Amino acid sequence: MCGICCVVSLSVQPPKTCLLEKDVFCRLRRRGPDSSHQMVKSAPDLLYQCFFSGHVLHLRGEMTPQPVEDPTSGNVFLWNGEVFSGGTSVTAEANDTHVLFHHLCSCNSEADVLSLLSSIQGPWSFIFYQVSRHYLWFGRDYFGRRSLLWQFRQELDHILTLSSVSAASDHPWREVPASGIFRMDLQDCGASKAVALTLHPWKYPSREDPVEEAVIGDLSVVSKCLPTNVSLVVQESLSLLAPVTPLNKEVRGVPEVSQCLDCTKNVADMRVLQMFLAEDHRKKIVHQFINVLSRSVERRVLCLVRGNDLLRGEMSGAASRRPHVAVLFSGGIDSIVIATLADRHVPLEEPIDLLNVAFELPDQGSQRSSTRKPSMEKKELPPSSGCINNDNNTVSCPSLASFNVPDRITGRAGLEELRNVSPSRSWNFVEINVSLEDLKAMRQEHICHLVYPLDTVLDDSIGCAVWFASRGEGLITNQGDIRPYKSPAKVVLTGIGADEQLAGYARHRVCFKNRGLEGLNEELGMELGRISSRNLGRDDRVIGDHGKEARQVGRQLFPFLDEDVVSFLSSLPVWEKANLALPRGLGEKLLLRLAAAELGLTASSVLPKRAMQFGSRIAKMEKRNEKASDKCLRLPSILVE
């Protein structure tokens, strides 16, 4: 995880004030604590200059400070991403920043640049200054899995800022749309003293059907997020090939399921899953899905530098080893399948952290067990926590009832399932307990700035839950002793993307009921198309904020949004992925439930979908009566436009 930033100024005079705001710099530094460098590139004759700022969290290959400058061409590169596969090969020992920059500097045309970016599989955002053409290239991957924001100003000496994170300002920030790659001709902008952008949009790979060659998505949304003084040209003739196949919208040939409906009696049951698995065709698809998802997890957990380092403290056995992989873990179907597949590929002697967050239930403050920055060293826990730190660094908690939320209950049940499936693995179940005081303090200090420019009640709830979960500070039980613990994991795996592709939300049932399979297909296509603006940029900013404290936690990875996984699921007709004629806990995400059953998971295979904000109880913590789409009044007013 890195923090990248570029400020474009249409002036050759030294700025009167620092081009990079102090708050923005501090948040960039939190994302990348291992290296921070700045650079200015100017073209006096063409009346522009660019200020670049790079902040690196080193996780892979040789340490590469950013921004990177090519000594021959003078090109400059800022990169926040991971290359897992595709046309650009990056070995485990290599640094993807170096490899990509070398390829970019070798590009002789715009088409070469776009072809290279189209070939990358993995999450990324980037900024590339091409000196010979005076071009500034920037953008995000197809799904928008890495954050990149932009801010436009009308002052002639400071017209555009690109940054991984933002800060409160009189000038609003917006997320750079993940609609394609943007190009800015600095020479033309310097001459006209105005911002003009060219967008190279994503297109599906060519097929016999000409409709599938159309530009992906509605590009009018791009123009809507630009100020009136910024011009935009969409260059469809030079586009990027999408890394995934288009959605299969076939609705003919749906198999009969009446016999399954009769046997369920409107109750989710493992016997129904076994009935489906008895079908050869269905079982083949389930195994194909398990294999492609397993490869996705493997790519994400093995591209790490590992050592035989031990954790400090009195931990015994395998638990004393340093975990490098964590899972945001509610015990639900998404997270438990990801954890099970991670177990296949993470070295057996290495523990896996299961990060389970719970927010204090209302009116039970006297019983709470708050988690406030525990460390492996002896420390005093706050009196309000209800926990006592003993001389041997264990913690005695008279009652944890105030954090006994639904996700904590299913999380513990899921932990037992994982222990049954893989008894030799050391699973660190990290109970992350958040008091109301902690929530208010951290929202004000950090989270509100990371959620921004999003501002709804749902953004606040999910952003807070993910921030505390990914921080990884909580309590674990080791041989009967409760101990303070901070996860040192370098990678955080999440189940984001499963619901959007496998019809996991309640609104999908409503859509199916009202509009049938055709309507459901349209809804699923829309879900995946808007996931960058609704989820991924926000979550990347939230999780990346912990780079400074942990110096290792920093990469949130989405196995369900791996390009190969998305292409596989998109190739299937909708009825192979979900059957919403079946009851809750069974019909939604049916394919994933069948995969879980085939992997040996039982109770979790038929758990109904429960949103994070409800399972963790953050939605009820402050006794709110709001709609998820309402603007969140708890965010500072300066951030709510």
For 514, residues 6+ apart whose C-beta sits below 8 A from its C-beta are none
CA–CA dist 318, 306 (Å, integer): 15
CB 146 within 8 A of CB 80: yes
Domains of the chain: 2-241 (3.60.20.10), 259-639 (3.40.50.620)
How far is 293 from 336, CA to CA, in rounded Å?
A: 13
| Residue among 470, 473, 476, 475 nearest 490 (CA) | 470
* pLDDT tens-place string over residues 93-116: 667 888 899 999 999 999 999 999
Query: How far apart are alpha carbons 263 and 268 in whole angstroms?
Result: 10
Q: How far apart are CA 465 and CA 45, in angstroms?
A: 50
- What is the per-residue pLDDT across 137-192, written as a single tens digit (0 to 9) for each? 999 999 999 999 999 987 656 689 999 999 877 688 999 999 999 999 999 998 88
The two structure tokens encoding residue 124: 């990324």
Tens of pLDDT, residue by residue over 127-149, are 999 999 999 999 999 999 999 99
Q: Which has the closest alpha carbon to 622: 330, 358, 359, 356?
A: 359
Q: Indicate if the pLDDT at residue 385 is higher than 50.
A: no
Which residue has tokens 């795996």? Answer: 493
Task: Count CB atoms within 10 A of the CB of residue 159.
Answer: 23
List the Cα angle 503/526/510 in 5-degree steps: 45
Q: Is the pLDDT of residue 373 over 80?
A: no
Cis amide bond preceding 383, omega within 30: no
**What is the pLDDT averaged over residues 336-350?**
96
Catalytic residue among 2, 107, 397, 464: 2
Helix (H, G, I), strand (E, B) or coil at 368: coil
Higher pLDDT, 27 or 287: 287
Residue-wise DSSP of 543-576: HHTTHHHHSS--EEE-GGG-HHHHHHHHHS-HHH
Residue 350 — very low, low, confident or very high, per pLDDT cuts 50/70/90? very high
pLDDT of residue 551: 33
Spatial contact of 554 and 490, defined as CB atoms under 8 Å apart = yes
Model pLDDT, residue 405: 92
Catalytic residue flag (residue 2): yes
pLDDT at 369: 43
Query: Which residue did the predictor score with more confidence, 169 or 120?
Result: 120
- Lowest average pLDDT, out of 15-29, 461-475, 574-588, goes to 15-29
pLDDT at 556: 67
Residue 271 has pLDDT above 80, yes or no: yes
Biggest CA pair distance of the chain: 78
Classify 628 as helix, strand or coil: coil
pLDDT in tens, 464-511: 999 999 999 999 988 888 999 999 988 899 999 999 999 999 999 999
Residue 534: is its pLDDT beyond 90? Answer: no
